[in-house]
Chain A
């Protein structure tokens, strides 16, 4: 038990299963996620990573099993439900509008209105407050991003990824699920994203990091959960494993029992 696990889990998946017709995509997977922890969710293609991700995001419903957020059982009917419960998923599509700037994107669809009845009637935005909030976020997380009024169209892939993650965090989400955040990024861009994820850990945010790049997982994850053919085959501290062990687990060349024995 390390210090992170002494706190109560912020997100718990209890025996989640999902089938698509005859295909059992996810078979009774349980997972606890703690605040201030980065958990790597890895697996080969078809291991059930994206099905599990989509269940956490609220876009598909599990056949059986429960999702428990901060001790409360939740049923996600939609992505909005998941977001409202505090689980924010950043998909590879990022959901950013290139023609709007960073502040506009972060507040898109939830703009702050000027206080008082006049603001509500005339729908006048409090532009200054929105800029201030984003600027504060820049300072709090040490975001290496260009000026807050830069259009997203002018940002690199890594910077866009950081904006998308920052939006989730700035909205107070304590659990952030990142779907392949470093896919298709260059070395420098990847570094930008990974160092931001490390920042999140120190701000007590729980991060589920889905990837099939072993180097990236080993770099940021405290704990790793390996899926294979829909089942959880390993769940334990990253430090106990080498890259070779991980690959062996993912491909089924080794079982968790052997790994734990070897590590212990």
Chain B
């Protein structure tokens, strides 16, 4: 292997090995860590974030961001709760909740992708606005008690696997297909890395991000409903800080915040890394306050490593530094 190949290989698989190492350390430190029930708990605790991470990572690959995910989640839960209280019935209420998420996503997408507003400003507005709207609708009161059928969404199991994990795996599978096997993956890299070129080649540089925002809104709403189901209540605290957890997994997974570079497998490992780290630290009785510090440190470490890799990569590019031909324009060829 050449040095370049070693670099690429470690860059691609570094996070995976960090994850394996982390699991090894925790397994050694606590006998309860590497057990099927505990692994299921880790997946379950991260399934909701995982759902939202998939379209979120695609947006970042396109050079965009959605900070409004947590607020869309609570708004969807609250709209669902109000609809249930008004007697719309379970299916209609769920559709209303999901619909409100898609609508907010379409609103984000229209302003950002079609009209060209700043993604940070618009979705930061959504972060405040959607949660504010949820609080206004409920006046701060939590509605609760949606019956056993709705409880299945958050607490049910299919063949022994919790429903949220199944939903997450379905979304992940669709995401992986689109990222690696469909033209969309390449188009997103082109949009995030060289938007003008992408447009010149006929790639829908506005519609792709638009639909990604709609997908992000839908995934956030689904996440909100899952949490509401687990709590059996549409609490106004649902989704608080969710945007940061989503971003942490994506950036830890190595997706460039400026767009055009990243892998969804990496993001999946980033998500698991955060999940394993939080769970493992609790298992070995480390203060929960330290957990946040550890995640922060991991993120900074990943950013530093990424910078290092980019520097090394740049050195590897065989730039031929020859002097330009000593012929001035227009006078060449005259002997």
Query: What B residues does A190 contact at CB under 8 A?
Result: 325
- How many residues in B have their beta carbons less than 8 Å from beta carbons of A? 39
Chain A interfacial residues counted at CB < 8 A: 41
Say yes or no: is B133 at the interface (Cβ < 8 Å to chain A).
no
Q: What are the residues of chain B within 8 A of A122 when measuring CB–CB?
A: 177, 181-182
Say yes or no: A99 contacts B261, CB within 8 Å.
yes
The answer for the CA separation of A206 and B184 in the assembled complex, in Å, is 34
Question: In the complex, given contacts A99-B189, A156-B320, what are 20 additional A-B residue pairs having Cβ atoms less than 8 angstroms apart?
Answer: A93-B197, A95-B200, A96-B194, A108-B201, A109-B202, A122-B182, A124-B177, A125-B181, A125-B182, A156-B318, A156-B319, A186-B321, A186-B324, A186-B325, A187-B322, A213-B332, A214-B327, A214-B332, A218-B333, A242-B335
Is A37 among interface residues, defined by CB-CB distance under 8 A?
Answer: no
A97 on interface, CB distance cutoff 8 Å:
yes
**Interface flag for B115 (CB, 8 Å):** no
Distance in Å from the Cβ of B190 to the closest Cβ of chain A? 5
What per-residue 1/0 map shows which CB atoms of A80-100 lie under 8 Å from chain B?
100000000000010111111
Of the residues B177, B183, B192, B200, contact of A111 by C-beta under 8 Å: B183
Interface set of B (CB-CB < 8 Å, partner A): 177-178, 181-184, 186-187, 189-190, 192-194, 197-198, 200-203, 260-261, 316-325, 327, 329-335
3 tightest Cβ-Cβ pairs between the two chains A and B: A243-B333, A214-B333, A186-B322
Kindly list chain A residues whose C-beta atoms are within 8 Å of the C-beta of B178.
123
Interface-facing stretch out of A17-25, A67-75, A226-234, A244-252 = A244-252
| B193 (CB) vs chain A CBs: closest residue | A99
Closest to B186 in A: A104
Q: Mark A41-69, 1 if CB is under 8 A from B, else 0.
A: 00010000000000000000000000000
Q: Is the CB of B320 within 8 A of A186?
A: yes
Contact of B330 among A44, A99, A189 (CB under 8 A): A44
Chain A positions within 8 Å of B177 at CB level: 122, 124
The verdict on A95 contacting B260 (CB below 8 Å), with A153-B317, A186-B324 known, is no
